[in-house]
Amino acid sequence: MTSDAEPPSASRTDPGGAAAPDAPDATDATDTTGAASEAATSRISRRAAKRAAKRRSALRSVIDWVVVLAVATSIALVVRAYVVQTYYIPSLSMYPTLNVGDRILVLKAAYRFTSPATGDVIVFRAPSTERSMCDSPEVDDLVKRIIGTPGDTIWSVGNTIFINGHVLHQDWQHVNPLGPPAIKRQTVPANDYFVMGDNHPASCDSRVWGYVPRGNIIGKAVLIFWPIARFSII
């Protein structure tokens, strides 16, 4: 009598009787390819992000510089218009205080809260009659020293200037003789100023063309800054 037995399981053998390895799984190959593709895409994205960040940084730098230059230019214009301005001296009318070629700093805000005083060196708009009455370089602005202020009675005798009956002691450098022309006795009107150059005999000033209105004064000359050898406070 024979007993029932399970049929032997089927297995693949190669002709030599050895078991054949399993064939590669197509799903694994697909996963590997997908991972490589994702990695490459990620690298490209990172590089693109870095380039975009650099472009944004460069743009921000350009914008920052534009803003800085705009602000600096605005400040410079405001300072020049309302605070200080530089001027070049073209003549010897203020010698020896100022020489030809000197560059001076004029404080425009000097008289914002105070009034011009005797002895101040000021820059002002040239009167319309100055060009026709004076043999001097054609300029829009002049620089002179205040001798008489509003209400002062002024005149001269020889080389001596009198203000309200008292001798004007010129504590600044100047050139004598005083004239011609001499200073005729006169009272300076309100809001006007009588000015002269320190080089008295070579200056065309209030003795010739009259007073300087307060509104024509640009500012007070405070500093010679060029040439360096003449650097000094006026």
82 and 182 Cβ atoms separated by less than 8 Å: no
C-alpha 205, offset from chain centre:
33
Q: Is the pLDDT of residue 216 over 80?
A: yes
* Ranges of each domain in the chain: 26-82, 85-233
Q: Which of 91, 93, 156, 206 is catalytic?
A: 93
**Predicted confidence (pLDDT) per residue in 74-133, tens digit:** 666 656 556 899 999 999 999 999 999 999 999 999 999 999 999 999 999 999 888 888
Tell me the average pLDDT of the chain: 84
Which residues, 6 or more positions from 151, have their beta carbon under 8 angstroms from its beta carbon? Answer: 187, 188, 190
For 175, phi then psi, to 5°, come to -115, 130
Does pTM surpass 0.85? no
The whole-number pLDDT of residue 3 equals: 45
Q: Which fold has domain 85-233?
A: Umud Fragment, subunit A (2.10.109)
The whole-number pLDDT of residue 84 equals: 93
d(CA 224, CA 234): 7
93 is an active site residue? yes
Per-residue DSSP letters for 88-143?
E--SSTTTTTS-TT-EEEEEGGGGSSS---TT-EEEEEPPTTHHHH--S---SEEE
Q: Which of 91, 108, 136, 144 is catalytic?
A: 144
The whole-number pLDDT of residue 132 equals: 84
136 and 204 Cβ atoms separated by less than 8 Å: yes
Q: What letter would DSSP give residue 71?
A: H
* Token representation of residue 81: 């218009």
d(CA 154, CA 157): 11
**Predicted confidence (pLDDT) per residue in 153-173, tens digit:** 999 999 999 999 999 999 999
**Predicted confidence (pLDDT) per residue in 140-155, tens digit:** 999 999 999 999 999 9
144 is an active site residue? yes
